[in-house]
Amino acid sequence: MPYAFDPYALLFIAPALILSFIAQMWISSAYARGKQLAARMSGFLAARHILDSAGLQNVQIEPIPGSLSDHYDPREKVLRLSDENYHGRSLAAVGIAAHEAGHAIQDAVGYLPLVVRNLAVPAASFGSSAGVLLVMLGLIMNFQLLLLLGIVIFSGVVFFQLVNLPVEFNASRRAKQLLVETGIVGGNEMGPVNSVLNAAALTYVAATLQSVLWLVYYILRYTSRQRNQY
């Protein structure tokens, strides 16, 4: 990020950085506690039970390496769980597995924010690198058109993250409801699950806030340079 050109840029996005730090600390703590609490079944079995109950026997579940690398792939209709959540029989494992199963259900029912998010993935992937690069070059070269182009492209990242928020919140809501309805987790056991999923949601909020603040900063730099030209 080009805050090196303006020492006040880091201060400008400081609220998002602080929130991100809090979210990371919370999810690390909540996940560590949740892993110590036994569940009735493994993350794999929990996800399988939820998917089958929703009529999604066609969705496969695969283990993948990494920590908290869990995700649902809508293109291949595959739910991928990190090894510790795939095999783990803990409240943290079933909570995260249920969250990802929630994404598969969203995909199956055509949940509109998920459809929009999936369409925005290419723009977000391109904008996260190309947009920032163009902004930096525009600032270095004092080239307003390049700076403006970078801002427009980076806006795709912000749009993606704003759309992603309701997708993640809805998946967590579905997960909490499904875990209780299917009897995987008792109502009195939902505290640790709620903590893990709420902490994960806060990380998305922090990432979105950071992107929004960077976009506002870029726009302010652009408009200030425009005024200085007159």
Give catalytic residues, as residue numbers: 100
Name the DSSP class of 38: B
Q: How far apart are CA 205 and CA 185, in angstroms?
A: 26
**What is the identity of the amino acid at 197?**
L
- Asked whether the beta carbons of 192 and 33 are under 8 A apart, the reply is yes
Q: CA separation (Å) from 19 to 1, 67, 72, 160, 173?
A: 18, 21, 26, 20, 22
Phi, psi of 142 (to 5 degrees): 55, 45
- Asked whether the beta carbons of 135 and 215 are under 8 A apart, the reply is no
Read out DSSP for 81-105? EEHHHHH--BHHHHHHHHHHHHHHH
Quick one: tokens of 210? 């950071």
Q: CA separation (Å) from 219 to 75, 120, 152, 161, 166?
A: 35, 21, 10, 18, 26
Residues in the chain: 230
